[in-house]
Structure 1
Amino acid sequence: MVKKITKIMAQKRPGRYNVYLDDQYAFPISEAVMIKYRIFKGMEVDAALKAEIIAADDVSKAYSRALDYLSHQLRTEKEVHDKLRDEDVDETVIDATMQQLRELRLLNDQQYADAYVRTAKRTSDKGPRVIRQKLRQKGVGEQLIDDALANQFSLEERVDNATELAQKLARRYQRQAFKTMQQKVRTGLMTKGFDTETIGIVIESLDITPDPDEQWAALVEQGQKLWRRNRKYAFSERALRTKRNLYQKGFLMDDINRFIDEQNEAE
């Protein structure tokens, strides 16, 4: 059944209109849809055209929501899709909206991944593995991540960032046994997402040497705690347990024996 548009009334919201067919309210539309379908008073509309216009308006509304979401920062396709889904937009409308955004180059996961890697390497201490994990969570494909890391985060830059982080970690753990400090530096680099190659280069080139006085002070501090903890044992068992614990913590056996000798003299 064909009906005629008898009135087009502007809504309070800018760019939105209500359409009346045969003096009865029929459907709302956006200005973009009105222009696209050249809607005017007196135009005849059958059921098929009405359904097409309503569907186009659904896409137009979803597109506006997506633009608002994209206006704050770059987003991945998954983030935009999930945002529209959370707002109860129909899946077919989401698909049409996503296609429109792609055609207008408003969505590009490769550009997003490139920008994310560039920002992460400048503003954080994260290595490639953690960056990859973050991009995966945002729905970026593996090949796009590979390309972004390869093009935006060179080995030299990874080594520079990892070296800076290693130096901070070394200062943080400087009062522990030297071997323990080295292991914690290595573990810290791994936790932050740096790869084995980068870590190897950094550890090998890191100019850190143990300070004998600091190492001795750290051993005494931890040794005294262990010595008190093991006080219920006879001296030989007490010494053995304390030695074993201090060795496990990474202290040198010569320093450990010196500490035990001093405890023996004190006893």
Structure 2
Amino acid sequence: MTKKITKIEAQKRQGRYNIYLDNQYAFGVAENVLIRFRLVRGMEVDDQLERQLIDADDVAKAYSRALDYISHQLRAESEVVQKLKDLEIPTDKIPVVMGMLRENHFIDDQNYADSYVRTVMLTSDKGPSVIRQQLRLKKIGENIIDNALVNYESDRMLENATKLAEKQLKHYHKTPSRLRKQKVRQSMMTKGFDSDMITQVLDSLEVEEDPEEQWNNLNEQARKIWERNRRYDDRERVMRTKRSLVGKGFSFDEIQKWMDGR
């Protein structure tokens, strides 16, 4: 069945138009659809063309919503796809929209990954392994991640790792000195730095020791543990307290000194 366009009316929403067929409102279209199909008054529209126009407008609306989503910040392709799904865009329209976004260079996972690495490098204490894992969560490919991590300058990585180590050494200042570097190493690995970088940093730092502070810390910990074990007989109480203090990193000599003086 063929109908004729009798009126084209601009909507209040900029860039959209109402199409009237045989003096009856039929559907709305985006401006780019209007132009692409050269819609004018008097043009005949059959059922097939009407379906094409509605389908093209569905893509145009989805594309517009995708542009709105990525206008505020860079997005990975997987984020845009998920957003379109959340917006209940028809599944068959999503690949078309994604193709348009790529063609116009509005999305680019390599650009996203490069930017992400530079931002994390300059604003956080995260190492390469954590960055890799976070990009994987965005469904970024391994080759793209490898290329992006080249942007993590070695000097900057050493600087970030050193700052993190210094921060963690202060955090664990009450930890017995023989365990302090081990705690810091674990923290740095969790943050994504590799073993070689961690060793390089820790070898360059001096771990300050304050015997008085160490003793006060031992005394504080020992008193708490001793009190917690009060329900046991003296022999069992001593054994359990020593075992707990050794587990916290205190040396046997220090523990025995406290035991002798309690």
TM-score by length of 2: 0.93
Aligned to 2:94: 94
Asked whether 1:111 is paired with 2:111, we answer yes
CA deviation string 1:134-187 (max 9, x = no partner)? 2222221222112111x2113332222121111111111101211232222112
Please give the per-residue CA displacement for 1:52-100, whole angstroms capped at 9, x wherever unaligned. Answer: 2221111111111011111111111111111111111112211111101
Quote how far apart the aligned CAs of 1:28 are: 0.9
Contact persistence 1:155–1:198 (CA under 8 A): no
Number of equivalent positions: 262
The correspondence of residues 25-36 of structure 1 with structure 2, limited to 5 A, is: 25-36=25-36
Distance, in Å, in 2 between the alignment partners of 1:142 and 1:132 is: 8
1:154 — aligned with what? 153
Q: Over the residues paired in the alignment, what is the CA RMSD in angstroms?
A: 1.7
Tell me which amino acid in the other structure corresponds to 1:182. Answer: K
Q: Is the contact made by 1:5 and 1:22 (CA closer than 8 Å) also made in structure 2?
A: yes
Gaps of 5+ in 1: none
Match of 2:213 in 1: 214
Aligned partners of 2:177 and 2:207 also within 8 Å = no
CA distance in 2: counterparts of 1:228 and 1:2, whole angstroms? 93
The answer to whether the 8 A contact 1:159-1:198 is kept is yes
- Is 1:197 the counterpart of 2:218? The answer is no
TM normalised by structure 1 equals 0.91
Asked if the contact 1:2/1:46 (under 8 Å) is kept, the reply is yes
Rounded Cα–Cα distance in structure 2 between residues aligned with 1:231 and 1:49: 88
- Listed as ranges, the matches of 1:183-262 within 5 Å are 183-262=182-261
Aligned to 1:179: 178
Q: Which residue of 2 aligns with 1:37?
A: 37
Alpha-carbon shift at residue 236 of structure 1 (Å): 4.4
Structure 2 gap ranges (5+): none
SS of residue matched to 1:4: strand
3-state DSSP of counterpart to 2:28: strand
Q: Distance in 2 between matches of 1:195 and 1:249?
A: 25
Q: CA deviation at 1:237?
A: 4.1
SS at match of 1:18: strand
Identity among equivalent pairs (%) = 53
Give deviations 1:226-250, integer Å, cap 9, x for gaps: 2333345554444333322222211
Corresponding residue of 1:19: 19
* Higher alpha-carbon deviation: 226-235 or 238-247: 226-235
